[in-house]
A = this chain, B = another copy of it.
Amino acid sequence: MPRPSVREQIVDAAFEQFHRHGYNACGVKLITDSAGVPKGSFYNHFDSKEALALVVMDRYGETRHLDELANTKVAPLTRLRNHFEALAKDIVEYGYERGCVYGNFSNEAADHIPAIREGVAAAFDFWAEAVEKAIREAQADRSLTSTQDPETLSRFLINAWEGAIVGERAAKSGESFAAFFTLAFEVVLR
């Protein structure tokens, strides 16, 4: 396997460190130290920590189990459940720590850094559209009888999920995730 480029090493390290420490507590030096590259090399590849954060958000998006949502071989409501279960599994595996990169960046940096705010908003929109598409398919095949607007349903569900993460990060009890699955799949999506 070829050695990863310095840029790749920085992105990999930033993914890990941003996810672990959040945006503000994670400086360029922490990232380059963690990547094992000189701090000076950072600015050969990125204009700023902010620019790197946008790349990390894209990379994070690739891990958000969106492919499965579009797999029409699986019934749409099953896909939706599998999607959120896969997201839950990732977080349980981290002991309810780290949270969601989008949510973390929204909380920590959206107020102060317009590019981060726009990046997070675009990421949430992209995710909401994928969920909305599966909801439309479930309404079309009558597995979902709710006549609520699919865009509203989708936005509500992804926010409810983000909030469940916030709850579990404090409580670590599983109660917030359990409440999400009960209400989302027994009440909202029915």
Contacts and interface: CB of A to CB of B under 8 A. Distances in A.
Interface of A: 20, 22, 24-25, 97-99, 102-104, 106-108, 110-111, 117, 120-121, 124-125, 146, 148, 152-153, 155-156, 158-167, 169-172, 175-176, 178-180, 182-183, 186-188
B124 A170 contact: yes
17 contacts: A20-B111, A22-B24, A98-B111, A103-B166, A108-B108, A148-B182, A148-B183, A152-B179, A155-B175, A155-B179, A159-B164, A159-B166, A159-B176, A159-B179, A162-B167, A166-B166, A187-B188
How many copies the complex holds: the figure is 2
A127 to B, nearest CB: 11
A163 B174 CA distance: 17
A160 to B, nearest CB: 4
A158 to B, nearest CB: 7
Nearest to A149: B182
Given A25-B24, A188-B188, A156 B170 contact: no
Nearest to A111: B97
A189 to B, nearest CB: 10
A71 to B, nearest CB: 25
